[in-house]
């Protein structure tokens, strides 16, 4: 006899091995929505056999584990369709990803966009044929022979790398068999709605020295309504693409002469400087001191920090006076030297150092994407050095700062706590102290969070913030990481109350993540229609006729003197044309003046929020109202 404990459900007692599905059915808690399960922290198929005491969490499409199984099955359906239509195609890997799935295919004649509808049509046949997905295993040599007979050289190569003694599993659906660890759905018929979304090139194993493959991306859902909502979101995301908006609004751009190295144009610099000034003011209030560390430092420093061994391929290096130097890919090692410059007393801790530090990382050209993935960016880093008894309060302080910033921009977010991984460094005692500090701070704040067991950094546990934009996409931006590695490597100390040296605990944290990426996210979140306090141009003044330009200029000068970012449009163009241009540039307010306004000392105000409605008001009233909107940072 053994017991199966269902999370948020009953306990089922079994006398013989039984599948997850049958156990849930016997317990009376199965439904059509259940598509996968987590058994003692391992995600499995519903056909997975249970034969001992265990805890089971049943998963639907709304769960990350359920989505993974669903998307993974869709990738197999696509691969089966491809093999039916193009038998000569060679399969490589086809994983589930956060937003759907893809499969990398080797084919002498490259796929084109015209092939995608044909593949989709064949996928529909496979879904309607409703094949069961059956898992089986083979010994290593038999597995290699099996894939050789199917003429799948990439699968053979993958099997050859599996460590000796490790299980090699396959999944069969109809005539199609694929090397796969799973998990999957019961049958192909569950994938009722899908769409192949794009086609790109991808090197085998991401190495440019290897063959170029064709990668086909797709999305899949349990029903057509969810698929339709997702496709509408993709269309909206396309409309909000920060690269197009940045170009159209003359904010930023990336040129062929500097792939991955963004140019910020005058209006973009206004936006950037506002964000940086806001960052500085909030950090000053929170007790941070700003520092600046060099962009290039010696190889010895990067060896000491561990980056030279683990990150060298992503670093830009050079020689100076016969010594190796590297442009910094992160700010942390420089921050260590700043702390190490003097002897600290326990009374002086915590020490909070903030830095807007420009870093460079060698990203593959295929991974570059506007401001979201670049080769140089400014991290809004901070490093906090503290006593162990200060961990919880410092974490709460950082959390509240990040929460304040995200809410100001209208973002909601969820929080994940990642704990000790297998390859960690440091003592059990220190890990327990650090993890309890993070967990305790979140509990004190009453925060709902998800625990990612074993997903922390090798040097310490962390809290990640995943913010959600106005069309439902999530972005990982803020993070709070406890580090037990660098203080050890750099022999950081403070003098305790006992007059002995002690090792400080260290926090790495970012709020924006990087200025560039955050600007990209904001641009898409607001679709370029930034709130008044952020807008590079806050208002424009124009007259209905050129003979009223003198009054229009008076209005412009008064607004300029009041500190607003204002433009004066005195062109000899029709007023409708000038208003429409200002609207296309997403300027928050257009102030139009004519004879009536000149005589009464008023302005006709058109708000971006109500483009077809004009309100006539005294200029001083508008100035007062606009100042309040800026000062409160209203959205």
In the residue annotation, 508 being an active-site residue is answered as: yes
- From 214, 240, 283, 332, active-site residue: 332
CA angle 384, 455, 443 (to 5 degrees): 60
If phi > 0 it is left, if psi is from -120 to 50 it is alpha, else beta; for residue 287 that is: left
3-class secondary structure, 537: coil
Cβ distance 34 to 24 under 8 Å? yes
Marked catalytic residue, from 383, 439, 578, 608: 383
Using CA atoms, how far residue 297 sits from 300, 323, 360, 542, in Å, is: 8, 10, 13, 52
Whether 379 is a known active-site residue: answer: yes
Closest CA to 623 of 547, 545, 566: 566
Decide: helix, strand or coil at residue 460: strand
Contact between residue 466 and residue 417 where contact means Cβ atoms under 8 Å apart: no
| Strands of 169-173's sheet in order across | 134-137, 169-173, 176-179
Question: Does the active-site annotation cover 310?
Answer: no
The residue from 381, 464, 483, 569 that is catalytic is: 381
Structure-block tokens of residue 295: 């962009």
The residue assigned the tokens 């529909």 is: 124
> Given CA atoms 43, 45, 46, 51 in this order, what sign does their dihedral have?
negative
DSSP lists the bridge partners of residue 286 as: none
Residue 332 annotated as catalytic: yes
Determine which one of 76, 508, 525, 608 is catalytic: 508
- Give Cβ neighbours of residue 392 (< 8 Å, ≥ 6 apart): 437, 440, 441, 444
Determine which one of 379, 390, 481, 538 is catalytic: 379
User: Which of 360, 462, 509, 606 is labelled catalytic?
Assistant: 462
Whether residue 588 contacts residue 535, with contact meaning beta carbons closer than 8 Å, is answered with: yes
Under 8 Å between Cβ of 589 and 579: no
**CB count in 10 Å sphere of residue 491:** 11
Q: Which among 496, 514, 513 is positioned nearest to 505, based on CA atoms?
A: 496
Q: Where do we find the tokens 């960016």?
A: 377
Q: What single-letter DSSP state applies at residue 279?
A: H
Question: Is residue 381 among the annotated active site residues?
Answer: yes
CA dist 545 and 578 (Å) reads 11
Query: How far, in Å, CA of 469 to CA of 413, rounded?
Result: 9
Catalytic residue numbers?
332, 361, 379, 381, 383, 462, 508
């Amino acid at each position: 006899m053994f017991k199966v404990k269902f999370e948020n459900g009953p306990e089922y007692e079994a006398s013989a091995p039984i599948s997850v599905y049958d156990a849930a059915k016997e317990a009376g808690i199965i439904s059509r929505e259940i598509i996968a399960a987590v058994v003692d922290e391992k995600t499995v198929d519903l056909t997975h056999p249970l034969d001992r005491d265990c805890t089971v969490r049943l998963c639907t499409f709304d769960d990350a584990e359920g989505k993974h199984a669903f998307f993974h099955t869709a990738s197999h359906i696509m691969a089966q369709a491809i093999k039916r239509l193009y038998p000569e195609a060679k399969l490589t890997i086809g994983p589930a990803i956060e937003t759907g799935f893809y499969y990398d295919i080797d084919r002498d004649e490259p796929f084109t966009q015209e092939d995608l509808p044909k593949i989709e049509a064949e996928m529909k046949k496979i879904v309607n044929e409703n094949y069961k997905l059956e898992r089986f295993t083979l010994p290593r040599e038999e597995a290699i022979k099996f894939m050789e007979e199917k003429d799948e050289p990439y699968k053979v190569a993958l099997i050859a790398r599996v460590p000796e003694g490790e299980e090699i599993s396959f999944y069969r659906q109809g005539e199609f068999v694929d090397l796969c660890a799973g998990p999957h759905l019961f049958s192909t018929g569950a994938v009722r709605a899908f769409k192949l979304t794009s086609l790109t090139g991808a090197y085998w194993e991401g190495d440019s020295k290897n063959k170029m493959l064709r990668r086909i991306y797709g999305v899949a859902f349990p029903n057509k309504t969810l698929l339709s909502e997702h496709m509408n979101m993709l269309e909206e995301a396309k409309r909000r693409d920060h690269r197009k908006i940045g170009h159209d609004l003359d904010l930023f751009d990336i040129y062929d002469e500097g792939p991955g190295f963004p140019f910020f144009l005058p209006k973009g610099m206004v936006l950037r400087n506002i964000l940086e000034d806001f960052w500085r003011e909030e950090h000053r209030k929170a007790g941070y001191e700003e520092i600046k560390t060099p962009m290039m430092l010696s190889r010895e420093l990067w060896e000491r920090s561990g980056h030279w061994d683990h990150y060298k391929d992503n670093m830009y290096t050079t020689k100076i006076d016969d010594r190796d130097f590297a442009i910094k890919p992160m700010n942390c090692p420089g921050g260590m030297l700043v702390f190490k410059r003097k002897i600290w007393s326990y009374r002086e801790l915590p020490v909070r150092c903030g830095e807007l530090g420009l870093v460079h990382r060698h990203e593959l050209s295929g991974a570059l994407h506007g401001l979201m993935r670049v080769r140089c960016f400014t991290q809004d880093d901070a490093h906090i050095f503290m006593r162990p008894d200060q961990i919880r309060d410092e974490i709460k302080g950082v959390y509240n700062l990040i929460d304040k910033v995200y809410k100001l921009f209208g973002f909601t977010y969820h929080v994940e706590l990642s704990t000790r991984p297998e390859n960690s460094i440091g003592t059990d005692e220190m890990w327990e102290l650090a993890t309890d500090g993070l967990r305790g701070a979140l509990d004190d704040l009453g925060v709902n969070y998800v625990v990612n067991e074993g997903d922390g950094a090798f040097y310490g546990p962390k809290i990640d913030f995943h913010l959600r934009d106005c069309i439902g996409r999530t972005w990982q931006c803020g993070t709070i990481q406890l580090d037990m590695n660098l203080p050890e490597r750099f022999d950081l100390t403070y003098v305790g109350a006992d007059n002995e040296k002690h090792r400080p605990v260290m926090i790495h944290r970012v709020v924006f993540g990087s200025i560039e990426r955050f600007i990209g996210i904001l641009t898409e979140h607001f679709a370029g229609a930034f709130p008044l306090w952020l807008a590079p141009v806050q208002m424009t003044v124009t007259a209905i006729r050129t003979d009223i330009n003198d009054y229009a200029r008076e209005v412009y000068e008064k607004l300029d003197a009041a500190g607003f970012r204002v433009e004066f449009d005195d062109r000899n163009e029709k007023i409708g044309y000038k208003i429409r241009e200002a609207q296309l540039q997403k300027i928050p307010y257009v102030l139009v003046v004519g004879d009536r306004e000149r005589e009464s000392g008023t302005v006709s105000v058109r708000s971006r929020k109500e483009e077809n409605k004009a309100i006539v008001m005294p200029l001083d009233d508008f100035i007062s109202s606009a100042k309040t909107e800026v000062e409160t940072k209203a959205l």
